[in-house]
Structure 1
């Protein structure tokens, strides 16, 4: 009797995944993050003979296996709880279970360090862009958002903490920007001061961006800086009562749990209590204005819209956010993607119809040339002349002669494009020396 019962239990355990896949009697919930389920493969004799059909069918069945989601959460929970290892390659677990992204850590450690001459060239070009816009009545401001790894290095794993005094792109860029008198709002030292003076966390334990509280403080500072830069006054933002305190991971807002929810654990981690300021945005009074602005930046810019509507309420309705200088977002209540792309817009009209152009990036994106924005604006106001083109042609011919036969013949069209681009880049660098 006992053996039959045991055998029945074993058979039931074997059948349970299939029954769950068919009936879904247990609500597993969906995994967080981006997942694409394998489609059902089309049968063909060719696929069967090459085993491609069998492999695709196996992926299809595996993606729909009963209790798969539960098994993944169980695996992730055991890895996290026992070994402090995340189920994601793009996530590092630090001290006190503080979560980091590897990219910002590597940047803080100077692992993506650019050549100092390269940094000077980029900053000089950015300074020229600032001057060209200023001639047209547009103020450009570069805003540096803090890097979480730099902000709280004490919570990095010991093996990833850089040696004191390591040179980084942050050092090179801020030094060059100040030397060239570029309009800069560096929030890195500001957040470092606030770390010991503000009563609430400026970065969430389970997020890579500034917290909702930190983002509103940054927005206040930005508005005051723009007032001085542009000689104007924004509508007043008033604090109303005490902040709302949230300690449940399920209730954290916007990006405050953006590294926590993709962990896909069995149960939510307890969140460090985070504060959300209660703010009132007053209508413009006499002498106050809502200027038109163009924001070009990375994901830290979302914090100026999602936690409290600073961009929506303090700037005019035609203000736009160019996410990584590609997607065009309208900062309304849902800050939605308009479907437009920056490359299709009239760049000159977009720039010269603004009071401010604000570049907002965090440290680990400094190496990426503002995602093409500065180069595009520089070329708009400094188009290549016939003399420039002739000089570039000569440089391209010289580079072609120096290239190996294999380089020239492997991909002729691609080789010519690369040589032309390299020649133009060298020529423009010579002009700014």
Structure 2
């Protein structure tokens, strides 16, 4: 009897094992269970074309393996189980560049390193960027266009006290945000530092300004930032925008829009318990006599979506055909794609577009200042403040002077070799940089 039971148990466990091996293939071919898609960006590997050359050079086999792995049954569920174990047991996130801070606040590693100054661009570069922006600002002002730079807050700067332990002990140097903000204020740039405002509101705000599981500012934070931003535009531009008000504030742990974007991207079985978030209901009024909806161009990173889709300040306070250049790429007018979607680049006459708008807002988040404004200022400067013949001659003279320095020549050739860049291009960029510094001081 015992022998029969033992044999039955072995057969049973063998059947279970075979079932576990076969079930993923069955699920892939004939879906038996509905499995939710993973959050975040993911592109499945395409089916590789079978050719003799690809088979012989061993490229077909790994490509086919990736194709099968991306479509194996229960893949999404198994990934969530693995990610949940890492998060629950080790407080580790498997999402790219996402770190778990104190109080289970989710943070962006790139933004943390920017806060610590690890991608600092250097004083000369920053001074040149800001000087060019001021020159563009003045040139546009003479044509009746208001140009302002808005610095949006990022979560890492806001929650620096909640960094993971390792990052709390790293040295902090000069950051791009601190240097740019200081230089802009010193130069007289039309800058509105919303990051500084958020720091001031941190201990007195009635509701969270950043969600626990999201990377962007909260709905409540957006409304505070909008009040500050649009009052500034009205004052500097002598514009009376339409009125708006908040008639109620909904408090909920059922998150909306981008308030849980990072937590979703972690692909857990159970997401971290969210903060109770505030969602003001903003009521926009029609323009009164003397008020106007004027032309607007917004050049911004993903934080710009909060003023378009999350809360429709821009479509309601400005002309509905306002333009949004997402990361300085011109996309279709108005609200063309879902927030966070890929920009749909379209050709535009940038000089004409800039001069046809009454207000231009350039808005980048603190940690994105490592790329300043995505090339907007450089392009606008070339279009609105072109070099004269004398300027070009002076740049050529500086290049000849640089060629006389053995130290500089060694530096340029070494950089050309290590970065695979053209020596002539590096020499030209150095000469232009020196010329701009002397010209824009």
Match among 231, 234, 237 for residue 238 of structure 2: 231
Is residue 377 of structure 1 aligned with residue 384 of structure 2?
no
Match among 331, 336, 341 for residue 334 of structure 2: 331
Please say if residues 128 and 440 of structure 2, whose CA atoms lie closer than 8 Å, have aligned partners that are also in contact: yes
Please give the alpha-carbon distance, in whole angstroms, between the structure 1 residues aligned to 2:46 and 2:143.
Answer: 54
Please say if residues 129 and 377 of structure 1, whose CA atoms lie closer than 8 Å, have aligned partners that are also in contact: yes
The CA deviation at 1:189 is: 2.5
Please give the alpha-carbon distance, in whole angstroms, between the structure 2 residues aligned to 1:393 and 1:66.
Answer: 64
The CA deviation at 1:370 is: 1.3
Please give the alpha-carbon distance, in whole angstroms, between the structure 2 residues aligned to 1:410 and 1:195.
Answer: 45
Please say if residues 106 and 212 of structure 2, whose CA atoms lie closer than 8 Å, have aligned partners that are also in contact: yes
Is residue 63 of structure 1 aligned with residue 63 of structure 2?
no
Is residue 51 of structure 1 aligned with residue 58 of structure 2?
yes
Is residue 247 of structure 1 aligned with residue 253 of structure 2?
yes
TM alignment of 1:35-184, pairs within 5 A: 35-161=42-168, 166-184=173-191
TM alignment of 1:344-363, pairs within 5 A: 344-363=347-366
Deviations 1:175-215 (A, max 9, x none): 21221121111112321222222221100111111111101
3-state secondary structure, aligned to 1:254: coil
Please give the alpha-carbon distance, in whole angstroms, between the structure 1 residues aligned to 2:167 and 2:332.
Answer: 36
Deviations 1:82-115 (A, max 9, x none): 1011112311110111101112111211222232
The CA deviation at 1:232 is: 2.1
Q: Unpaired runs of 5+ in structure 1?
A: none
Deviations 1:150-188 (A, max 9, x none): 212222112213679853222222221221121111112
3-state secondary structure, aligned to 2:320: coil
Please give the alpha-carbon distance, in whole angstroms, between the structure 2 residues aligned to 1:386 and 1:216.
Answer: 49
Who is 2:308 aligned against?
305
Please give the alpha-carbon distance, in whole angstroms, between the structure 2 residues aligned to 1:126 and 1:173.
Answer: 11
Q: 1:117 to 1:199 in 2, by over 3 A?
A: same
Q: Please, which moves more after superposition, 33-42 or 212-221? A: 33-42
Is residue 319 of structure 1 aligned with residue 312 of structure 2?
no
The CA deviation at 1:308 is: 1.4
Deviations 1:337-366 (A, max 9, x none): 88443xx32222211111111111111122
Match among 18, 34, 38 for residue 27 of structure 1: 34
Please say if residues 250 and 281 of structure 2, whose CA atoms lie closer than 8 Å, have aligned partners that are also in contact: yes
The CA deviation at 1:262 is: 0.7
TM-score by length of 2: 0.89
TM-score by length of 1: 0.91
Please say if residues 93 and 100 of structure 2, whose CA atoms lie closer than 8 Å, have aligned partners that are also in contact: yes
Please give the alpha-carbon distance, in whole angstroms, between the structure 2 residues aligned to 1:91 and 1:321.
Answer: 28
Who is 2:440 aligned against?
432
Is residue 4 of structure 1 aligned with residue 7 of structure 2?
no
Q: 1:335 to 1:353 in 2, by over 3 A?
A: farther
Deviations 1:119-147 (A, max 9, x none): 22222221111111111111111111112
Task: Give the count of matched residue pairs.
Answer: 427
Who is 1:191 aligned against?
198
Who is 2:5 aligned against?
none
3-state secondary structure, aligned to 2:148: strand
3-state secondary structure, aligned to 1:18: helix
The CA deviation at 1:79 is: 0.3
Please give the alpha-carbon distance, in whole angstroms, between the structure 1 residues aligned to 2:243 and 2:194.
Answer: 22
3-state secondary structure, aligned to 1:240: strand
Please say if residues 116 and 171 of structure 2, whose CA atoms lie closer than 8 Å, have aligned partners that are also in contact: no
The CA deviation at 1:411 is: 11
Deviations 1:33-90 (A, max 9, x none): 2222222222233333332222222112211111111111110010011101111231
Who is 1:284 aligned against?
287
